């Protein structure tokens, strides 16, 4: 997508660059005298959020949560995409490699606005929408966790599948937390812009709320995994308990069968007319007594 001027008034010009090429970055360097090193940072898909200042250029690199579902959740680019924001004089330049909701929504808000907005306020609007994307993600992950919890405790589902979903959920939540924690310094630097205190506080509070939401989500997921493993251990213990009880029933009668299976000639019971029935009766009596004993012990 070519370099596009999205918004312009007497106090502000917003230039947006989507999926920039080397020629686009060279144009920005020559036209606005932006350091090439800062422009190169916008090309690294895994670059962490940060703030830099070079002369009259203020550079914010933020990351927005994406709705893309990746199989491998190893890096922050698997759950977010970066947005570079350059502020110089009355110009704001945004650079990103894919379409983002924050840019689209900010464009709609500016189209509906009847007052002139400064570049600093445009940057603030984008930052607030970026924080909102993480807020939406935390709500989505919490709903997913609730569904998994219901399937684990209320339905008879495949536990192997559930534990995989839980670990994937934990990795996704952990990566989002990492992005938000690293973004703290960049969010704090918005205080350097020409903004009202209330506007900066709104952004700061939104960031704190989202960080707290993901901290809570991480704790909930960890607790659910622990509960799931404890439940699996309990079911395994129940199986072993049943097997142990059956072994208690059959161990004494197996012993009796083994003794009388030796077939020695001097065993008088072998030649008794009713020895077979007496032995079966003794076995049955032992099983009944063992059953009553187990019931009284609530085994």
Whether the full predicted model's pTM is greater than 0.85, yes or no, is no
Contact 181, 215 (CB under 8 A): no
Question: Listing from the earlier edge strand, what are the strands of the sheet with 50-54?
Answer: 4-8, 13-18, 91-96, 80-88, 57-65, 50-54
User: Range(s) for CATH 3.30.460.20 in the chain?
Assistant: 4-234
For residue 13, the number of C-alpha atoms closer than 13 Å in the C-beta half-sphere is: 9
User: Range(s) for CATH 1.20.58.340 in the chain?
Assistant: 237-296
Which fold does the domain 4-234 belong to in CATH?
A: Beta Polymerase; domain 2 (3.30.460)
Can you give the pLDDT of all 299 residues of the chain as single tens digits? 578 888 888 889 999 999 999 899 999 999 999 999 999 999 888 899 999 999 899 999 999 998 766 667 778 888 999 999 999 989 999 999 888 999 999 999 988 887 888 999 999 999 999 999 999 999 999 998 888 888 777 766 666 777 888 888 899 999 999 999 999 999 999 999 988 999 999 999 999 999 999 999 999 888 888 887 787 777 777 778 777 777 877 888 888 788 777 777 777 766 777 777 888 888 888 888 888 877 787 76
Pair of tokens at residue 293:
């004993």
Element holding 214 (H helix, E strand): helix 197-260
Pair of tokens at residue 151:
């399937």
Q: How far apart are CA 97 and CA 84, in angstroms?
A: 10
Q: Does domain 237-296 have CATH number 3.40.50.720?
A: no
Q: How far apart are CA 35 and CA 43, in angstroms?
A: 14
Pair of tokens at residue 66:
């994406």
- Could you give the maximum distance between any two Cα atoms of the chain, in Å? 118
């Amino acid at each position: 997508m070519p370099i596009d001027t999205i918004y312009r008034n007497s106090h502000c010009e917003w230039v947006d660059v989507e999926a920039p090429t080397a020629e686009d970055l060279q144009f920005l360097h020559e036209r606005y005298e932006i350091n090439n090193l800062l422009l190169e940072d916008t090309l690294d898909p895994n670059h962490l959020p940060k703030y830099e200042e070079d002369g009259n250029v203020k550079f914010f690199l933020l990351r927005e949560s994406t709705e893309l579902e990746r199989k491998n959740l190893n890096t922050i680019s698997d759950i977010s995409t970066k947005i570079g924001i350059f502020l110089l004089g009355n110009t704001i330049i945004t650079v990103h490699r894919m379409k983002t909701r924050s840019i689209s929504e900010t464009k709609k808000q500016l189209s509906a606005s009847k007052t002139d907005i400064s570049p600093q306020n445009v940057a603030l609007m984008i930052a607030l929408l970026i924080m909102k994307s993480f807020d939406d993600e935390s709500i989505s992950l919490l709903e997913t966790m609730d569904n998994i919890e219901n399937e684990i405790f209320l339905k008879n589902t495949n536990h192997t599948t559930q534990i995989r979903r839980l670990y994937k959920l934990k990795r996704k939540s952990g990566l989002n937390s990492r992005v938000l924690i690293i973004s703290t310094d960049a969010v704090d630097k918005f205080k350097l812009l020409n903004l009202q205190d209330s506007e900066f506080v709104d952004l700061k509070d939104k960031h704190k709320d989202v960080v707290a939401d993901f901290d809570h989500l991480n704790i909930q997921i960890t607790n659910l995994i622990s509960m799931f493993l404890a439940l699996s251990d309990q079911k395994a213990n129940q199986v072993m308990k049943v097997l142990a009880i059956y072994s208690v029933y059959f161990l004494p009668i197996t012993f009796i069968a083994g003794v009388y299976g030796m077939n020695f000639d001097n065993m008088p019971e072998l030649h008794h007319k009713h020895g077979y029935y007496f032995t079966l009766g003794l076995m049955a009596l032992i099983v009944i007594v063992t059953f009553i004993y187990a019931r009284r012990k609530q085994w």
